[in-house]
Every structure is written in structure tokens, then in C-alpha cells.
Amino acid sequence: MVKIILPLLAALALLPGCQSLAPDYARPTAPVPAAWPDGPAYGPAPTASGDLASAIGWRQFFTEPKLIRLLELSLANNRDLRLATLNIEKARALYQVQRADLFPSIGAIGNANIQRLPASLSANGDAMVSRQFSATLGFSAYELDFFGRVRSLRDQALEQYLSTEEAARAARLSLVAEVAGAYLSLAADQDRLRLAEETLASQRASYELTKRSFEVGVSSALDLRQAQTSVESARVDVARFTSQVAQDVNALNLLAGGPVSLELLPRGLRDTVSAFTNLPLGLPSLTLVQRPDIMQAEHQLKAANANIGAARARFFPSISLTGGGGTASNQLDQLFKAGSGYWNFVPTVNLPIFDAGRNLANLEAAQAQRDIALTQYEKAIQAAFREVADALAQRGTLAEQMAAQRALVEATGESYRLSEARFRRGVDSYLSVLDSQRSSYGAQQSLISVRLSRQTNLVTLYKTLGGGWRETSASGAESHGTVAGQAAAKVPAPALTDHGQ
């Protein structure tokens, strides 16, 4: 009998599960237009060239050495990214736990049972002590996965794990964009502070000149006070931008996970003119599905799809096996002697007959969860399309904004120079000088803002297009993400770049 049962146990343990009862998965059609928006806000359509933006690593996109070093520090030390990485480890461990259910768990058990029976309970009327010792090797409640329930749960855990990896990739891309944005904001605020300091020095000189004119009776007290208002306004801006620069540095310190050395801080936006390389733009249906947040949503959809298979399998019988073999004796020193062997084999069949609709409700809940995941996936694609379209709309008008703002700076600067000359000649009051100075100063501050928008727009496009699934190391070798593990499809893509200020 032992010669028959043990091979049977081995054969049953090695039986593969049947195909999963989960619905066949097909990637849903992207619920967005086949092309990016066009119109006056988007400018002329660029010529097609290059790969998808998702194939461009951040080391290829960012070229400013100080910014690259800052990104390296942030990716190594940022605590939010570290939490995302730890969540991957947790999800990987949970997947291994679920995967282990596909195999029988074999263990060894040693057992001793010593019992005293009083005379009143003894068969022969005498008090007695019984002893039983055993050593067993076997497995317990191993489910034969004929209908794919365990396999479906394994697939669900795998997709959850892959979803967590994509979430970490999304966190990595967001961190890269956030660090670059903070770097550019600091550069812009340093330009604003420098402009405010130069304006303060200029207005103080003008105030001193007006004060001397007032003392000799050439200028009025009103002119003197109006000149003083320019000085005090510039002082306010110097204090405000000094505080803002300090806050920008604090933001970079937080993102980098520690204090950033002064050598890595930008001196102004002109240091970032050539901080970026060409950025290609593919078709929406090919570009958006490469974004890590959308791939995360798709893995969640696959996990919900696999859970339907597990819910369907609960309608069918389940078969579990418990078996083992070893030795048993009433004397410890006789435990491993010849003739003490024993075995047991306990197959169990569970056939659902009546469960008050529990299995049906579980299936309906799984199907509803799949529909929820599908809706979330489609919404993620639509939101991503909107983000890219907004960035393209902004980019399409930035060149015109820059040209107009430069012309405005030139015009207000000349107006300020002429107003001041007319005031010195006694033709106009200081009020016209004050108004012209404010217009010139405001135009220069706005020019800095447009320059910042032009630079951050490239970072925004890089993020919204899902750039960076492939990273080029410092040595030049390419390293691939553990999830994506596949090259992005190569399609004609228009290049987007901007090095002008």
C-alpha cells in the first residue's frame, strides 16, 4: 500500500493547475484623440524625429552639471522615494507569500503524548499511564488548483507588486521634475533679488540727487517723498526676495535629503539656458501608455481581472490533500525500530451547495472592482492627455510672450530714461518718473517670470510625457527598470527643444 500511495502523493503534488478562469485581458483602447490638439495656442506642428520621450533617461534630458549632481543627491537621499522603494520590497514579499500556495508545504513534526487514566476509567480497573511517541514528515491542506483559484490569486499578487514598482517609478519621475522645478525657481528668485537690489541702489542714488535738489529749492517736498517711496518699495522687494531665496534653498534641502552645498546652487536663470536636450513627442496612444502612473493603473486593472478568476473558481469543488508518514511507538527508544512505520492520507473535497449567495456576491464585487479599475485607468489616460495638452498650449505661446515681454522691457526702460531726463530739466513732475520706473521694474520682473515659465515648461513636458523609464548611468551604459524591462516602441516623433532666453 505504501508503494502505491507515496507515488500517488508525489504525482498529485506535481499536478499543474488548470487555466485560470479569469477573463482574457486586452488593453483597453485609449479614450483620447489620436493626435495632440492643434490650433493658434499650439503653434506650428514640429517635424517628426526621434524616439518616445519615455525612452529618454533624466541624465540625457538634463545637461547642467550642477543640476545633475543635485538630482543624484535627491534620488539617493529623498525620504519619499525611499518609502516608495520600501513599498516595493513589501509588495515583492507578499507576492512570494501568495506564490508559495502553488506548492505543498512539507514539514516534519515530532510529537509525544503521555496520559494517566484513573482506575475508574481504565479498561482493566487499574490506574495506568499510556505513552505515545511519533515522528512525521508530510504536508497539510494542500489545495489541488484544478480551477485556477490559487493561480489567479498569485497573478493578482504579481500585478499588485508590478503596480507598486510603477508607483515607485512615478515617484522617481515626480521627484526629478520637482527638483528641477525647485532649482529653476531658485534661479529665478535669485534674478528677482538681483534686480531688486540693483533697483534699490539706483533709487537710492536718485533719492539722494532729489534730496540735494530739494535742499537748494529746485525740487518740491512732494518730489522728495515720491522718490522716497521708490526707495522703500525696492527695500520691501529686496527683503521679500531674500526670504524667498532662503525658502527655495530650504525646499531643495528637503528634496535632496540634506543640506545642499553652495557650489550646486544656480546663480540665475542664465545658468540654465542649456540645461535641457531635445524632447520628442510621439502619438498620444503610444506615448501616454508609457507613463508610469498609467502603467500602474493598468496593473491594478490586471489585478482586478485576475481576482475575477479566483471568484469564479469558488463556484467549483476544491480538493485539498493532507498526508504524511513516519514512525510511532509507545516507547521513545523504540521509535525508529523496524516495524514502527505508519502513514496517513486524508483527501478532502469541498463542494459548494448552498452559501446564501456569498460566492455570487463575491463574483459581482470582483467584477465591479474590475469596472472601477477600468474607469480609473481610462481617467488616468484622459488626465495625462490633458496635462500634455496644457503644457503644449503653454509652450506654443511662450515664444510670443517672450518676444512681447522683451519689447515691453525695452519700451518701459526707454520711457523711464526719458521721464527722468524731463524731470531733471524741470519739464515733468517726479510722478511721471515714478510711474515709468514702476512700469519698467514690473516689466523686468515679468520677463524673469516668462523665462522661468519657458524653462519649467520643458520640465513639465518631460514629466507629463513619462520621460525617464530608461536611465543612462554616469559611465554611459543603459540600465533598464525592473518593471518595464522592454524597449519603448520607436515611432516618428516631433522634437521639442528650447535653448533660447
pLDDT digits (tens, 9 = 90+) for 156-192: 899 999 999 999 999 999 999 999 999 999 999 999 9
Q: Rounded CA gap, 484 and 487, in Å?
A: 8
* Mean pLDDT (whole number) for 237-262: 94
**pLDDT score of 471:** 53
Q: At a CB cut-off of 8 Å and minimum separation 6, what does 185 contact?
A: 248, 251, 452, 456
Q: What is the DSSP pairing of strand 318-329 with strand 279-280? A: unpaired
Torsion of CA 176, 180, 185, 188, to 10 degrees: 180
Residues 6+ apart with CB under 8 A from 466: 53, 54, 173, 287, 288, 290, 291, 292, 294, 384
Average pLDDT over residues 37-61: 73
**Continuous H helices in 133-148:** none
Q: What is the pLDDT of residue 18?
A: 56
CA 255 to chain centre: 14
Give tens-digit pLDDT for 412-443: 988 888 888 887 777 777 777 788 888 889 99
Is the dihedral angle over the CA atoms 159, 164, 165, 170 positive or is it negative?
Answer: positive
> Can you give the C-alpha Rg of the chain in angstroms?
37
pLDDT at 51: 60
Mean pLDDT of 205-217: 77
> Rounded to two decimals, what is the model's pTM?
0.80
Average pLDDT in the 289-305 region? 92
User: In the numeric block, which cell numbers belong to residue 4?
Assistant: 502505491
* Sequence-distant (≥ 6) Cβ neighbours of residue 89 within 8 angstroms: none
The owner of cell 524653462 is 455
Amino acid at 76: A
For 69-107, the pLDDT digits (tens) are: 999 999 999 998 888 888 888 888 888 888 887 878 888
Query: What is the DSSP code (8-state) at residue 133?
Result: E
* Residue scoring higher pLDDT (17 or 232): 232
**Distance (Å) of CA 322 to CA 70, 146, 347, 392:** 58, 17, 6, 63
What distance lies between CA 265 and its chain's CA centroid?
A: 25
Of 1-15, 63-77, 281-295, which gets the smallest average pLDDT?
1-15
268 contacts 86 by C-beta, under 8 angstroms: no
% of the chain exceeding 90 in pLDDT:
30
Distance of CA 486 to the CA centre of its chain: 19
Is the pLDDT confidence value at 498 over 70? no
Kindly report the CA angle at 389 between 383 and 391, in degrees rounded to 5? 105
- At residue 196, the pLDDT reads 93
Q: pLDDT averaged over the chain?
A: 81
Cell 515607485 belongs to which residue? Answer: 168
